[in-house]
Chains A and B, each alone.
Chain A
Amino acid sequence: MQISAQTASLPVDERGVHTFLEISELGAAKKETMPANVKHFFKSNAKALKLRSSKGDTAFTGTGKMILTKSTAGIGHPTAEVNYNILVELRENKYRLILTDYIVTPYERDRYANFVPSTTKYRLEDKPGKLNRGEWEGNMKYIITESGKLSAKLKTAMNTTQAISKPEAEKPAAVSTTKW
């Protein structure tokens, strides 16, 4: 599935929940490294992702967080955070990424002019009224873009061989400087 930021909305799954899904084929040579690469992907994105559980070496489940920012020319401030579930499943020479259950927590300004999470949150499926449709569409566009970026990161991780655990290089034998 290819989704661009121009798409108005993420598709919904069987439950009616907005879902980002991408299936990618890998060459046969990558098969052995896939599980290690997924773990490496979670580890290297530890600020945004948390690996909760893994089922054998074929399914990895976790949670993620992205910060939405209102900005023009790189200047703005955070407006909301979005928490979601992430699932990476491996099969033969391909994998699929699922991002779903997006929950949006708007940020509010505090007394020190910082932006902090408010106590209200809503599911991405909750339809906005007419008054807030523009903001909702902006959030959706941002979520699609950020989900796409995460997918690209995973693709890079899956196509690398850096995560293969290599045997430690043999240490040179110790030398004695007292006896000779």
Chain B
Amino acid sequence: MKLKSILTIAAISIASLTYGQEASEALQISGSVDTYFKYDFEKAPNIKTYFANEHNSVSLGMIDLALKKTTGKASFVGELSFGPRGQAQSIAPSADGESFHIQNLYVNYAFSDKFTMTAGYMGTFVGYEVISPVANFNYSTSYLFGYGPFQNAGIKGTYAFSGKASLMVGLFNDWNAYQDLNGVSHIGAQLMLAPVEGWSAYINFLSGSSAGSPGTGTIIDLTTAYQVTEKFKLGLNAADYSIANDNGGYSGAAIYPQYAFSPAVALGLRGEYFNIKGAGGAADASLTAITVSGNLKAGGLTFIPEIRFDSDEDLSQSFMKSNGAATKSAAQFSLAAVYAF
């Protein structure tokens, strides 16, 4: 009898939910394809930047396909990627060693204009740069990006106080993990502020103990960008990550000035300082990197010529000269083509 009542209530609830649905929007499909050539001036795999790491080769990034559908207050996003950038270089393999090819897979429900909840596997909310080459200005990525999380699976709620401020709080798996082997173990939050038009700032927090980790790891991250003038944009990312009980971490900052000569031509610089914290009393190791990139756009296609100089003061990156001798500096040129649709 009880079961019958529960089933009746469930049926009525589903019926009223269905009745309350608004018209669905058309299915959105978008994506990108990217490829690149990179040349290291010492002919060695020196700068271990994510995604553009193959010397003197016309190499693949990924093909990326994203689907989005909104029906009333509910929506989903499913984003699949195939290729080195979208598989082994950005997604941890599942238990059987295979990649699921998934960059984003989540459902979202807007309870009101102000409050939404999202659950699934999502691009991380931490940091300035992202996996998709369409959403980055530079093609190579920063150390802050490479050392930080790529994706966070979890459930989160976002409350918009106004168009100028919102707060997200959520529970998450270990970094980049489809399945959390030690239970949902991380708590995260993001405060978004947009004080004036063209300026947005995100203060991010993510803390938890990953499976096999010697301690609780905590990231505090600031990501901000300001469109100073119609042509000049300035971005900044600063982060600190510490694993408890002197188990290392990192800290750093990167600045991103970009100037658009026209809607089709822009030049941008990334200047980064990065510090790898020594664990168990070991010394820290610091790096600096300067990257100059152009963006030349023709319709959906963007060419990204780029030159990058890295300085590895403490020899933590094992830079080599062409004769195999250790060196503190490295430089590379790359040309990438990214097509977005």
Contacts and interface: CB of A to CB of B under 8 A. Distances in A.
B29 A109 contact: no
B225 interface: yes
Interface string A66-97: 00001100111110000000000000000000
A113 B104 contact: yes
Given A120-B227, A132-B299, A111 B132 contact: yes
Contact of A74 (B26, B79, B122, B227): B26
Given A77-B68, A113-B68, A119-B227, A71 B77 contact: no
A66 to B, nearest CB: 15
Contact of B225 (A70, A111, A119, A134): A119
B11 interface: no
A126 B263 CA distance: 10
A180 interface: no
Contacts of A120: 227, 230, 233, 260, 263
B253 to A, nearest CB: 20
B95 to A, nearest CB: 25
A128 B263 contact: yes
A110 B130 CA distance: 9
A97 B85 CA distance: 51
Interface in A109-132: 109-115, 119-120, 122, 126, 128-129, 131-132
Interface residues of B, number: 38
Contact of A71 (B26, B106, B262): B26
B135 interface: yes
A112 B122 contact: yes
Contact of A113 (B66, B262, B263, B264): B66
Say whether chain A's binding surface is mostly helix, strand, loop, or mixed: mixed
Contacts of B262: 129
B30 A111 contact: no
A120 B233 CA distance: 9
Contacts of A113: 30, 66, 68, 77, 79, 103-104, 123, 132
Contact of A111 (B124, B230, B263, B296): B124
Contacts of A110: 135
B263 to A, nearest CB: 6
A82 to B, nearest CB: 15
A108 interface: yes
Contacts, number: 81
Contacts of B30: 76-77, 109, 113, 115
A135 interface: yes
Nearest to A75: B29
A141 to B, nearest CB: 15
B263 A122 contact: yes
A111 B130 contact: yes
A77 B225 contact: no
B285 interface: no
Contact of A109 (B132, B198, B227, B233): B132
Contacts of B132: 109, 111, 113
Contacts of A77: 28-30, 68
A128 B299 CA distance: 11
Contact of A134 (B77, B131, B299): B299
A109 B340 contact: yes
Contacts of A115: 28, 30
A109 B135 contact: yes
B230 A112 contact: no
B48 interface: no
17 contacts: A70-B341, A76-B26, A76-B28, A77-B28, A77-B68, A111-B130, A111-B131, A111-B132, A112-B77, A112-B123, A119-B225, A120-B233, A129-B262, A129-B265, A131-B298, A132-B297, A132-B299
Interface of B: 26-30, 66, 68, 77, 79, 103-104, 106, 122-125, 130-132, 134-135, 198, 200, 225, 227, 230, 233, 260, 262-265, 296-299, 340-341
Interface of A: 70-71, 74-78, 108-115, 119-120, 122, 126, 128-129, 131-132, 134-135
Given A108-B134, A109-B132, A122-B263, 12 more contacts: A77-B29, A109-B30, A111-B124, A111-B131, A112-B77, A112-B122, A113-B30, A113-B77, A113-B123, A120-B260, A131-B296, A131-B299
